[in-house]
Amino acid sequence: MDTYDYIIIGAGHNGLVAAAYLAKKGKKVIVLERRDIVGGQVITESFGDGFTVDSLHAGGTLRPDIIKDLKLASFGLGIDSVRKPFISLQEDSNHLVLDPDPAKAAESIKRFSEKDAANWKPFLDFMDKASRFIHLANETIMPRLPKNFSFNEGLGLAEIGLDLRLMGGVDMMRVIRGIPMTAEEFADEWFESDVVKAAVASLGIHGFTLGVMGAGTGYTLMHNWANRGGMSHVSVQGGVGKISEALGSAVKSFGGEIRMGAEVKHIQVDTYTCKGVVLKNGEEISASNIISAADPKHTLLTLVGAMNLPPEFVWNVQSIKMRGSVAKVHLLTDGKHGIPAGTVAVAPSIKYLEKAYDAAKYHQISEKPYLEVTTSGNVVSVHFQYAAYKLKSGEWKVESKKVENVAIDTLAEYFPDLKSSIVNRKSLTPLDLEQTYGLTEGDLNHGQIMLDQFMFMRPIPGWSNHKTPMDNLYLCGSGVHGGGGVSGAAGRNVVKVLK
């Protein structure tokens, strides 16, 4: 039986980043992935002839320092330097077009408010500072509050504090006050037009089961802005799957192994020490250390098992809120769909967005959903909120049709040629996210990012430094601090805390 220095469970981008850094250091590493494709949520997949698409995450990029460290450009990763606009659709076709060029965006905003147009550039400057703070916080190992923490963890916190202070008093307070605010309040502080406010606030709910009037969506707004580097998605040449392919190639080039179709069934434990894993096919693989990039609930409750963990720890893990409410609808068209290039949102007003969220509260599917649409050639991809993982009535096998129909009907109100252009469709429900993509309760972030589950409380209080009660078991997926989004921070951070 082979023995590895590290087994990494899950070939999502975070697992691959951790594996690449470790392999680069000369460690003997194997990545075990249950699917037949690397990348987790960062993948480009085919659903049939001519129907190839970024099936989940619509765009984005890793941190530039990770791209450089791992030489990912040499493995074929190319990021589009020109960003497309963010377009917020309006019923009267007077769409708000937020071009990456601030002057052009201000021209469009002027149609809704002169004052908001003048505020756009100062707002962008502030969001740049806020994004820098979020990235710095995300690369910092959080202290294990309320437990003792190391001098280095304390230093990390001091560095974040200093960065905040150096922003200047006004912006520092804006960031601090913005964290617990609602996305509506956050946008209110800058803009008067409901159209502009709703476009900006939509970033606060994208991917989260929260409404724009929910506390903490000020923070998630800054989180998504930082991860995207703005309002629209960054395009990756050849699709987001190229990020994962490049990472996979980097792992192999440094001598690491990746096994596909290798689902871990359980982690072998002997009195708080992991010995290795058992795969679904019964094969055993042993290692000195295990790093899981799968979500914390799946890792700790299913793979390790509650019996092997302290009761209080188990209770905390059981309490992690996983609340998927995102579905995806992909439409293969004849190309005459009429939807412009860019990140196109159905987020016409603050009230519209909050009402869309009502469905999630009552375990339903929004009849008037918040949508974010991207196109790639003939394919239209629709991010749909809200579609509750746990439905009050009906089952997802049947209700997926409802999501498709609501998405198409909603978009057809803006693009009348869409319906007749559709030649094939593929929807992915929150249940598909769980069953196909391995996300417990369809939660994209491996646990909601909310005020009681972020920073030093992620994944649970007292265990925010990637470690677990098992001496040699670590976590590095989106469910830990640094996670959420495609920055790779969580995957890289874990390497910093290994013995």
For the chain, how many helices (H) and strands (E)? 17, 16
Contact stretch for ligand FAD (CB under 6 A) within 9-17, 65-73, 111-119, 120-128: 9-17
Phi, psi at 281, each rounded to 5°: -85, 5
Question: Smaller CB distance to ligand FAD: residue 242 or 383?
Answer: 383
Amino acid at 302: T
- Ordered alpha helix ranges (H), 139-261: 151-166, 169-178, 183-188, 194-205, 217-228, 241-253
Q: What's the chain's Rg over C-alpha atoms?
A: 22
List 14, 316, 366, 465, residue binding ligand FAD (CB under 6 A): 14
What is the per-residue binding string for ligand FAD in 426-465, x denoting contact by CB under 6 A?
------------xx----xx--------------------
Provide the 3-class DSSP secondary structure of residue 369. Answer: strand
Contact stretch for ligand FAD (CB under 6 A) within 19-27, 39-47, 74-82, 407-415: 39-47
Question: Smaller CB distance to ligand FAD: residue 109 or 205?
Answer: 205
List 27, 63, 197, 298, residue binding ligand FAD (CB under 6 A): 298
List 328, 330, 402, 426, residue binding ligand FAD (CB under 6 A): 328
Residue that has been written with the tokens 């990456």 in this structure: 100
For 237, residues 6+ apart whose C-beta sits below 8 A from its C-beta are 78, 79, 80
List 35, 83, 402, 492, residue binding ligand FAD (CB under 6 A): 35
Q: Does 42 bind ligand FAD (CB under 6 A)?
A: yes
Min dist CB 369 to ligand FAD, Å, is 13
What distance in Å separates the CA atoms of residue 358 and residue 370, rounded to the nearest whole number?
11
Question: Smaller CB distance to ligand FAD: residue 143 or 442?
Answer: 442
Q: Does 227 bind ligand FAD (CB under 6 A)?
A: yes
Task: Please say whether the beta carbons of 450 and 208 come within 8 A.
Answer: yes
Q: Does 257 bind ligand FAD (CB under 6 A)?
A: no
Signed CA dihedral, 66, 67, 71, 76: sign only: positive
DSSP state of 305: I
Q: Does 33 bind ligand FAD (CB under 6 A)?
A: yes
Residue in 376, 389, 388, 392 with CA at minimum distance from that of residue 331:
376
Q: Does 41 bind ligand FAD (CB under 6 A)?
A: yes
Task: Please say whether the beta carbons of 357 and 32 come within 8 A.
Answer: no
Min dist CB 33 to ligand FAD, Å, is 5
**Site residues (vs ligand FAD, CB under 6 A):** 9-15, 32-35, 40-42, 56-57, 206-207, 224, 227, 263-264, 293-294, 298, 326, 328, 383, 438-439, 444-445, 477-478, 483-486
